[in-house]
Amino acid sequence: MHRKSTTTSFVRGMPRCRHHFCEMATIGVAARTFCTATLSLMGRCVPTVKFSLEALPQNLQQEFSCEENARNLRHMIQPPSGAAASSTEAVIKVLPSWVHLVSWQCGACGCQWSARPVDRMDPQVSSFYACPRCTFGVKSEENATPHLLPPRVRRLAEVHPLLAAQWDDSRNAVIHNRVFFESVTDVPLPCSAVVWWVCPHCQKPWKESVDSRVHRYEQQQQQHHKKNGELRHGRATLPLCPSCEGRGVCSSPHSNASTSSSLSQQSGEKSSIGVKRFLKDDAVLLAEALLQPHEDPAALSLHSNRLLQWRCRWCTHEFTASIADRFLRYHRCPQCTGAVATSLNLLAIQRPDVLREVARTVSSAKLLRMTIHDDTVVTFVCRICMSPYRLSVRLRCLLQRGATACPKCLWNRSQFAKEVAVANEQRGASKAIPRLSMKKHRLKRRGRDTFDTVRNQLYQRDNDLMN
């Protein structure tokens, strides 16, 4: 008795008969909310994979590749139990919050790529995970031979290096700011992500999307071309923050003659315009004002006591204040000035290293209400020499982490530097002394009698300072 032989191949760990084909059936083609795929393996019918795409938007439903995902996402099928054990259908509900890699297929060019649904739903990085062939503008000649000429991704650092130099690394690295780029070299174009920038003129940070920043810079370049003709080397406009641009700060490094002429023109324009009278005349306040649809900035006087809602351009804190307080009395954001205690300016949250140096004579309830902008003078105890000193909280927080504000330590360091310089001159050595010899010299000066004297002074002044 001759047994009929069958040749099988293994695809992704599953045996599949070569003479059988994948049978696809689509339910609801117009809405494309359900997609099914059936695999017949060696004459035995396995459960049908059915995708539920109701949670995805319409454009993602059309780009969802059912055939590829039916083979790749079979591990997502939950084993049936009870009455559903005999069912031949397995429904996989695709959610926008999925972090699994899913296959997509562009309906325009037929390109296939993989991306997570959570990345495609995020408005800040959705353009980066869209179709690579359509998004980055690859021509039809390149589409004919994609294996020879891969699509080149346009990066912000390559196209606009002046904008990349203003990338705020410290703020963009914070997790709660939701910036999903490790560095500025990873930012593609176009990109709708809202990131932090630093102005090269006023050194103030602000938030703006990458697309908006590039669009404003390209408009400035076009205006500069129209005024000065062709762009020469060294004549490129330097992009600034919206606050500096609203104040009319010159952003192009022209010669002294051109700068003086532009300043004279600006002074002439200011004299012709006159004194600011309405909110529309002040670009800085207008950028921070949250106006209602019925409020006209051309009709709101700068001397009015009308209350408006404002949003700080540095910390994005919203507060209420009158127009006269903002324009005449120079009232700033209460969070930036410390008038309102929040998690972004509390001393206990922002500077715990400074809080550990405060003496025990200051009540803990008062410390918990203090902000880093507080001008209250408190007593600090140096953690190096145990010497007490008095300083305002705001001035102490201006120093960086690890820096000391103790006057005794600063004086000792200056004297030590002088002694090291004299010793180097006597030995004829170089200016830089090795770190090991510096440490030995410093430990030689620090004797037991010095610590006893400091401890005796502290006990005589206040016993609670020893914390």
Report the SS3 class of residue 415.
helix
pLDDT tens-digit map of 22-81: 344 333 444 444 555 444 444 445 567 778 888 888 888 888 888 888 877 777 776 655
**Residue located via tokens 């090795």:** 434
The pLDDT of residue 40 is: 42
Is residue 143's pLDDT more than 90? no
Exposure of 229 in the CB half-sphere (CA atoms within 13 A): 2
The pLDDT of residue 285 is: 87
pLDDT tens-digit map of 162-187: 888 888 877 777 766 677 777 787 78
Measured between alpha carbons, how far is 117 from 100 in angstroms, rounded to an integer?
8
Measured between alpha carbons, how far is 300 from 294 in angstroms, rounded to an integer?
11
Measured between alpha carbons, how far is 121 from 189 in angstroms, rounded to an integer?
18
Measured between alpha carbons, how far is 198 from 196 in angstroms, rounded to an integer?
7
The pLDDT of residue 455 is: 64
Tell me the mean pLDDT in the region 316-338. Answer: 89
Exposure of 295 in the CB half-sphere (CA atoms within 13 A): 15
Q: Name residue 58's amino acid.
A: Q
Strand segments, DSSP code E, in 281-406 are 289-290, 307-311, 318-322, 377-381, 388-392
Q: In the structure, what pLDDT confidence band is assigned to residue 307 with cuts at 50, 70 and 90?
A: very high
Q: Are 123 and 158 in contact (CB under 8 A)?
A: no
Helices (H), 100-209: 117-121, 132-135, 140-144, 156-159, 161-164, 169-172
| Angle between helix 435-445 and helix 407-427 axes, rounded to 10 deg | 120
- Give the DSSP H or E segment for 62: helix 58-63
Question: 275: which 2 tokens?
Answer: 């004194």
Exposure of 124 in the CB half-sphere (CA atoms within 13 A): 11
Measured between alpha carbons, how far is 192 from 186 in angstroms, rounded to an integer?
14
Q: Give Rg (Cα) of the chain.
A: 34
pLDDT tens-digit map of 270-294: 444 456 788 888 888 888 899 888 8
Q: Are 195 and 208 in contact (CB under 8 A)?
A: yes
The pLDDT of residue 87 is: 58
Q: Are 205 and 314 in contact (CB under 8 A)?
A: yes
Measured between alpha carbons, how far is 349 from 343 in angstroms, rounded to an integer?
7
Q: What is the CA angle 22-24-29, rounded to 5?
A: 165
pLDDT higher at 369 or 463: 369
Measured between alpha carbons, how far is 49 from 72 in angstroms, rounded to an integer?
11
Question: 370: which 2 tokens?
Answer: 């203090």
Q: In the structure, what pLDDT confidence band is assigned to residue 465 with cuts at 50, 70 and 90?
A: very low
pLDDT higher at 420 or 197: 197
Measured between alpha carbons, how far is 269 from 292 in angstroms, rounded to an integer?
31
CA 17 to chain centre: 51
